[in-house]
A = this chain, B = another copy of it.
Amino acid sequence: MTMAVVREDLDPAEVEAERALFEPLTTAVRELVDATIRTLVPRDEILSVTEQLNGLAQRLRARELPGGFGVRFTGAGAIRNHGNAVVGLRNAFAPPLQVETSREERSAWSEFVLGAPYEGPPGLVHGGVVSLLFDQVLGEAAIAAGVPGMTANLAVAYLRGTPLGALRIEARVDRVEGRKVTVTGELSDGDGVTATAEGLFILPRTAAAWKT
């Protein structure tokens, strides 16, 4: 199991080169995730595409990390969590959310679009995906406020079904007590709030490295 919190000396140009290389790869795989759910092409075409995809996966696996990507820091302190299922540059399930933050407002927010891979009830976002997004964005608000932590509790209230499509999520730090941070948030569509969340995040004593 790779448990690395890795510091790498990457300058901004190297970080950008990595993005320019992996963003198109991940976008291509993301298209495939969506297309696999929605395709109506004939059986023979599915079989042919499947065979070729297997060959391409083998090419990518010719040399690979032994486990997950982990969380890496550049020399400049920027976080590279590229495997992350919500925001990861190299995670094809991640929409990915582009999360904006304000240290002053102790907040984080994102506007994004969800399609077929995120569906639960017909036409609606999977309730668990709503929780997944909240966990990430509430956590990012805590990081933005300078009080990062791991999720200790997350409670989500679903006011109504969240339609697939254009959505907005936001979160803000409500209060800080020592290493404990309470963050609240809302998910909205064009008609208003669909779900709310409250999370308690606690900084592990061993995780001083997170304080970037």
Contacts and interface: CB of A to CB of B under 8 A. Distances in A.
A50 B33 contact: no
A116 B175 CA distance: 33
B21 A40 contact: no
Given A67-B116, A83-B116, A117-B85, A90 B36 contact: yes
A122 B3 contact: yes
Contacts of A122: 2-5, 68, 70-71
B3 A85 contact: no
Interface in A61-100: 61-65, 67-71, 82-86, 88, 90-93
A115 interface: yes
A110 interface: no
B91 A64 contact: no
Contact of A134 (B43, B83, B119, B128): B128
Interface of A: 1-5, 21-22, 24-26, 28-29, 31-33, 35-41, 43, 45-50, 52-54, 56-57, 59-65, 67-71, 82-86, 88, 90-93, 115-123, 126-129, 131-136, 139, 150-158, 161, 163-165
